[in-house]
Amino acid sequence: MKKYNFGAGPSILPPEVIKATADALINFDGTGLSLAEISHRTKNFQAVMDEAQALVKELLNVPEGYEVLFVGGGASTQFCYVPYNLLEKKAAYLNTGVWAKKALKEAQLFGEVVEVASSAADNFTYIPKDYSVPADADYFHITTNNTIYGTELHEDLDSPVNVVADMSSDIFSRVLDVKKYAMIYGGAQKNLSMAGVTFVIVRTDILGKVSRPIPTMVDYRTHVKKGSMFNTPPVVPIFTCLQTLRWIKEQGGVAEMERRAKERAELLYGEIDRNPFFRGTVTCKADRSYMNICFVMAEEHKDLEAEFLQFATERGMHGIKGHRDVGGFRASCYNAMPLEGVKALVETMQEFERLHA
Ligand SMILES: *Cc1c(COP(=O)(O)O)cnc(C)c1O
């Protein structure tokens, strides 16, 4: 039976990417050495780093003035790096879920934080729209895709101040206007690579403006200056990143990823809305995520939840159990999820409906 990985993260990668990584772990670039045992200073690895950074710029159309960094620590460490480097007096945060809240909490260690809006009272089932960002804030932090709740900002926001975006779970799934962001960051393990590497795209003119001293490793300028090679970077995940970036390019680029994401999402949300056994959890349909599709059993079928989970798992649907904060199910449909996977899930839902009709 074919297995489809709907896990939220770490998550599905293209089979070609897994294969290329496995091969390089045995014999990297014809060196006769494993990728895991070579120095990051070799010219073979430098070429990997250079191409990965160049491809991020090419695929996202990154304008002049920005640098691409690959660092360790995950998106969660960026929650601290961002205010450390950018918050002098005041920062604005949009609270759209657990990750957004965690980012906000870290910033409070560094200065005044304004929560411009929050959908916490409604368990983050929509993204707040009517709010204003204080014009004197040092930056405005957003989470473009709320992995746990299945809401997503489908457009680049206008803001009076620099926008910093956590794009851990939707990077490379939608065409972006990068110049609307001063910084974009995220853990790679949702749509790009395995766990262990964090991508940062930063407009360098925003750095060096705060008065506090910044420890070397936390200072973005260190990584800009040293090309993400100040210390040993996560070599294997960066290699995997490069393979995914090449794959995205071969498939037709980010526009094609966006087309596929919409196609998958339309199919699955269509079934969720049609099938009387299920109900989508996001109340504002325009905010429904293309990446993490959350649904629960309809009220009158609540008792069938465990049964559907088992039913779907037996049919090869891996990782669809919802996050404990939402319950029910979450089908994560990242870039590497083939349309067949979503078709198989839809068929499973229809089969379940027939069984219980
Ligand atoms: C997974 C996730 C994180 C946390 O990422 P780590 O790399 O595990 O720290 C942060 N933000 C969002 C939106 C996520 O989906």
Residue 168 maps to which CATH number? 3.40.640.10
Residue 4 inside a domain? The answer is: no
**2 found inside a domain:** no
Pick the atom of ligand 1 nearest to 144's CA.
Answer: 13
- Give the binding-site residues of ligand 1, using a 6 Å CB cut-off: 9, 74-76, 99, 143, 147, 166, 168-169, 187, 190
DSSP 1-53: ---EE--SSS----HHHHHHHHHHHHSGGGSSS-GGGS-TTSHHHHHHHHHHH
> Does 284 reside within a domain?
yes
- Domain range for residue 168? 15-251
How far apart, in whole angstroms, are the C-alpha atoms of residue 143 and residue 164?
9
| Confidence at residue 282, expressed as pLDDT on a 0 to 100 scale | 97
Q: Where are the beta strands (DSSP E) in the chain?
A: 4-5, 66-71, 90-95, 112-118, 140-143, 145-146, 151-152, 163-166, 183-187, 198-203, 278-280, 292-297, 317-318, 329-332
Active site residue 90: no
Name which of 139, 144, 183 is nearest 162 in CA terms. 139
Question: What is the rounded distance in angstroms from the CA atom of residue 242 to the CA atom of residue 235?
Answer: 11
In-domain check, residue 5 = no
Q: Are residues 41 and 117 in the same domain?
A: yes
Q: Which atom, in ligand 1's list, is nearest to the CA of 99?
A: 11
Looking at residue 95, the DSSP 8-state letter turns out to be E
Q: Do 199 and 71 share a structural domain?
A: yes
At a CB cut-off of 8 Å and minimum separation 6, what does 237 contact? Answer: 188, 193, 194, 195, 196, 197
61 with 108, same domain: the answer is yes
Q: Is residue 8 part of a domain?
A: no
Number of structural domains found in the chain: 2
Identify the pLDDT of residue 232: 96
Cα–Cα separations (whole angstroms), residue 259 to 21, 54, 262: 27, 23, 5
The protein residue with its alpha carbon nearest to ligand 1, atom 14, reads 168
Residue nearest to atom 3 of ligand 1 (CA): 75
Other beta carbons less than 10 A from residue 214's beta carbon: 16
pLDDT mean across residues, the chain: 97
Whether residues 233 and 121 share a domain: the answer is yes
Same domain assignment for residues 257 and 233:
no
Question: Is 247 a catalytic site residue?
Answer: no
Among 227, 251, 275, give the residue marking a domain's end. Answer: 251
Nearest alpha carbon, ligand 1 atom 5:
75
Neighbours of 174 (CB within 10 A): 22
Residue 122 is among the residues annotated as catalytic for this protein: no
CATH of the domain at 335: 3.90.1150.10
Are 232 and 110 within one domain?
yes
155 domain residue, yes or no = yes
Tell me the CA–centroid distance for residue 187 and ligand 1, in Å: 6
- Does residue 7 lie within any of the structural domains? no
For the chain, which ranges sit under pLDDT 50? none
Ligand 1 atom nearest to CA at 97: 13
Q: What is the pLDDT of residues 295-320, one digit of tens each?
A: 999 999 999 999 999 999 999 999 99
Question: Last residue of some domain: 184, 216, 251?
Answer: 251
222 and 314: one domain? no
CA of 74 to the centre of ligand 1 (A): 7
Which of these is catalytic: 156, 190, 219, 287? 190
The 10 Å Cβ neighbour count of residue 253 is: 16
